[in-house]
Amino acid sequence: MAMPLESPVTFSNVGKVKWWRRGIFASQTGYVILALLALMVVMHFASPYFFTEGNMQNVAKNFSFIAIATLGITFVIITGGIDLSVGSMMCFSAMITSMVMVELSAPGSAFVHLAADGKTVVANVPGLIFLISVLAGLCAALIVGLINGFCIAVLGLSPFVTTLGMLSIVRGLAYVVSNGRGSFPGGPDADYFYALTSGDVLGVPAPFIYLVILALAMAVVLHHSAFGRHVFALGGNEKAAELTGIPVVRVKIEVYVICALAAGLQGIIISGWLGSAPANMATSYELNVIAAAVIGGANLAGGIGGPLGAIVGCVLLEVIRNGLVLAQVNSYWQQTLVGVIIILAVLVDRIRSRMT
């Protein structure tokens, strides 16, 4: 006699993920994107000029002025570190670039000799002064990044204390080399400098183009390279990463170098937009850069972050600033709203984590 088959045992609750842990809701960045879209709709009704072509170009250019530095600091935050010197680094790199450009262009300079036509030798090669000046500014950033990384990774100093001290050191050096005065990019390559820092291509601001290229490069590095895996491993569990053979010291130094170079490049671009490199340039920008990274989903505890979140955080901050201006609201409310958004972003992520 055939025995009846037993009903198969099923586990309907196994393998199912709650809706707030799927798709766009799987990360803090997703919630911020939704908040950004909602805010843009509100701004559209608050001002008919918000979605105009000119204003969108302004938004794209303005948020790019902190977004490149935010990409750099996201590397550091993913490892569980912090860099408070990015604002000072922006100023110092911009100032070095501007001063070298002027020095190399000046007849009778101590560093170059005159050609037969009375110009400096390097001035006779189009674009050479610009290239050397930018490399000088980035080299200054590289040195600061190496010092930060060495103090933190090799000497074991606190990232907060180290970069806080470097913030003051680099800002002080900027005042020393300039005697407290601004520096203005000049010389035969000044047109190249301004075109490549504050110009546009087919109506698209040059800083925005650089941002897209660097963000794509960052995404590839973080998600498709051994270095990227090492960066996330450090933020997840540094001791475990060290036990698995990851070169912790080298990776830490590299992320601080990347952060400093990104800040240096950002400062050079901003000086092209301003037309000068004042000694007080980018003061307190480190707060906006860190805020954008955290709002976009980078976790200060480490292990989480990426280029999309960094960009979204920067866009959100700029939309708030731009919208307040268009709506004729006191711009001083911006800092208040940024603080509220940071707390809300972290709170939503914490609530979402506890619901799992």
- What is the per-residue pLDDT across 176-199, written as a single tens digit (0 to 9) for each? 998 888 888 888 888 889 999 988
The distance of Cα 88 from the centroid of its chain, to the nearest Å, equals 14
d(CA 184, CA 111): 19
d(CA 333, CA 341): 12
Average pLDDT (95-108) is 84
What is residue 353's predicted lDDT score, i.e. its pLDDT?
A: 67
Secondary structure (DSSP) of 271-282? HHHHTSB-TTTT
Which tokens hold the place of 269?
């671009």
Average pLDDT (15-37) is 71
- The percentage of the chain sitting over the pLDDT mark of 70, rounded to a whole number, equals 86
Read off the amino acid at residue 63.
Answer: F
- 292-322, pLDDT tens digit by residue? 999 888 988 889 999 999 999 999 989 988 8
d(CA 133, CA 263): 16
Q: Which residues pair with 114 in a beta bridge?
A: 120
Residue with tokens 């302004």: 58
Q: Which long-range contacts (CB under 8 A, 24 or more apart) does 335-338 make?
A: 338/288, 338/291, 338/295
Q: Which residues pair with 296 in a beta bridge?
A: none
Which tokens hold the place of 87?
């604002």
Worst-scoring range by mean pLDDT, 8-17, 44-53, 234-243, 254-263?
8-17
What is residue 9's predicted lDDT score, i.e. its pLDDT?
A: 55
Q: Angle at the Cα of 269 (from 170 to 168), degrees rounded to 5?
A: 10
Which tokens hold the place of 179?
């005697």
d(CA 14, CA 216): 36
How many alpha carbons fall within 13 Å on the CB side of residue 309?
26
Average pLDDT (170-181) is 91
Residue 199, classed as helix, strand or coil, is: coil
Task: For residue 291, give the H/E element and its range.
Answer: helix 285-295
CA distances from 263 to 73, 91, 147, 230, 236 (A): 8, 9, 15, 22, 25
Residue 264 clears pLDDT 60, i.e. is over it: yes
